[in-house]
Structure 1
């Protein structure tokens, strides 16, 4: 019986092509608008490393000045001073530790067909690659000994490696960058992390920036007194010179700590609190503010990666879908009202209200399926247009299988909901009145 009613629903689409087209288009536009917005929100709010997001922590230590500070105020800076970052790196907190700041180097390729160019990347500790599970195409990251000595080694992104060396393994090659000879020890494979949780601060597009092009040891960047490519906050004037800057309370480094399990969080918090007490004895951390730990999900929330504007856009899109459903209900009422005589005859011949209800609801589902296909095409088009606006939007304006299925499900569900009232009204037809009018 379902197959019979389904075929009737397909045929009914041709009874009034103009009305059917208007219903399908109305439903498709509403579904496309809501799904496109929901897709972007879904990508932006996703967990980028779900199997260990509760074991990766950002520590925040408030080293601000006590003036105008009130207990309970939020920490002004989300980064660390050099002193705090290196103390954490040299500690035994957690299983792995890293410190990160942005750099930009001028590359001088050996190839004559490529001129000098700038590339942006990170100065970080060797644990970085294992902590964030960066995939390697060639080679590997540098060793703890390289971290300790500040070795001039470098890991390239796949794109930068192909630009410099083509599709060959460049491990062991030497490249001049920033006037320094670096030895290539590894090449990352394609590594598109969305949201880019490990490097939100200091990058142009925040959590939706493009991949970093190269990585060098944190200690090497410090040894060469490299300029920072990112944000820096200083409360007081500092003396001239790089060492004076390192000794200052300026915050410009992002720290991360990985624990063996989520249950080690309390132990890590205890370490931070003990560290802060020691530093206060040395005359630092004068605010005596509580130290904070944020795992990946908490960090994304704290940094407002998904802002109120994004959530409002999603609600507005669903409001637009609701408006489209109201219009679809009106169109379905008009479509079913002209078939009152047909319903009356079927009822007189013995069809029950349940059978009429089932038939018309299946016909509505057919409308939802057609609207879903069209809505999916419109959603793909909308996402393509959004992706053209900026490189950051390119990372989030794409549809996965979850959203693909959601599009069809939303279209069919919307059509069924819109068809409940018209279908119920169609079942209330009185057979005697309809037969009398014929």
Structure 2
């Protein structure tokens, strides 16, 4: 029986192509607008590593001197969001001796001319990279396509080893397993220990907040290697100092109070956060005794979500944008409902005749509900096409954004079709109700 009603629905749409196309277009525009808004706002506001939401923390040390200008958040003084090399070394030892910390990593950035051993210096490209500890990859759930992170020994001794992204591996090694091969950074030869699989957390939380929606860099080298080898690019080195040195050499910065690297820790459990605060504030007190950390502001931590809020990574209007898009969809469906009422009204004669030859109210309801559902399905399919075109256009306009922001997954595609059919049927209830209550006697008189 359902095939019969769908056939009737298709014939009805076919007989009025302009009106049918108009209703499908109205539904498609509403669906496309709402899904583009939902897809983008969902991706930029979703937690990038939700199962570790309460265990991964960023450390803020109150290391500024009394004369150092400081930022405020909600009327309160802010500690710097990066730490000095001296504190990085000290806290690494503190963390290793604590049973609260499961893992830790330092994160900083560097850039260098990059090429393979088979490329000439003229073929080298300037690329940015992260300098991290090998625990970075397990802390942040970075998947590996080939190989693995460098060893603990390489981390401690600062060996010339490197992890690259799948994108770079495809570019330089045609996607083949490149573990054991070499990449030259400026004049230093690094051996590839691993190749990351596709990985692009959104928003990206371990870099600068202003680049939270860009893809991560393609290169990762040991933090200790960077320090030991003095890998320093003056025009790509971001740091802040209580007093800036006249000649900012890398060695001078390492031995100063300048802050330039971020420190992330992963606690064994979220309930350990207060105990960890006690730990770093004991370190804070020790440094005060040594004449450092003169401000009264205590050191503290932030979760990834708290970090996003303070840095304004997730715009406050994301929720509003969703509601506006949904309101627009409702307006589109109301217009579609109005057209359906008009269309079904013009079929009163047909309805009266069908009722007269034995069709029940339920039969009439099934017939027009099938037509409404078919409109919702066709509108949903057209809406998905328009939504994908809209997302592609946005990706072209905002090419600096991570590609994954502008993509709908299979679950979203399926739910969009169901959403379109369901809402169209919901707004079609009144037209269908009117159609099924047409009195056959009054209509037969007019035939």
TM-score range, shorter chain: 0.7 to 0.9
Map of 1:30-429 to 2, 5 A cutoff?
A: 30-66=30-66, 73=76, 75=78, 77-92=80-95, 93=98, 94-112=101-119, 115-166=123-174, 169-179=177-187, 181-201=188-208, 206-223=211-228, 224-227=230-233, 229=236, 231-238=238-245, 240=247, 241-348=249-356, 353-389=361-397, 390-429=399-438
Q: Verify the 8 A CA contact 1:32 1:378 in the aligned structure 2.
A: yes
- Report the equivalent of 1:26: 26
Q: Distance in 1 between matches of 2:203 and 2:89?
A: 23
Q: Which runs of 5+ in 1 are unaligned?
A: none
Quote the RMSD (CA, aligned, Å): 2.9
Deviations 1:241-279 (A, max 9, x none): 434423444332121111233333333233223222323
CA apart distance, 1:172: 4.1
SS in structure 2 of the partner of residue 91 of structure 1: helix
Q: Verify the 8 A CA contact 1:10 1:363 in the aligned structure 2.
A: yes
Q: Verify the 8 A CA contact 1:34 1:321 in the aligned structure 2.
A: yes
SS in structure 1 of the partner of residue 297 of structure 2: coil
Q: Verify the 8 A CA contact 1:123 1:215 in the aligned structure 2.
A: yes
Q: 1:98 to 1:367 in 2, by over 3 A?
A: same
TM-score, normalised via structure 2 length: 0.86
Q: 1:290 to 1:332 in 2, by over 3 A?
A: farther
Residues 164-173 or 87-96, more deviating: 164-173
Q: 1:169 to 1:401 in 2, by over 3 A?
A: closer
Q: Verify the 8 A CA contact 1:239 1:245 in the aligned structure 2.
A: no
CA apart distance, 1:364: 0.8
CA apart distance, 1:201: 0.9
TM-score, normalised via structure 1 length: 0.87
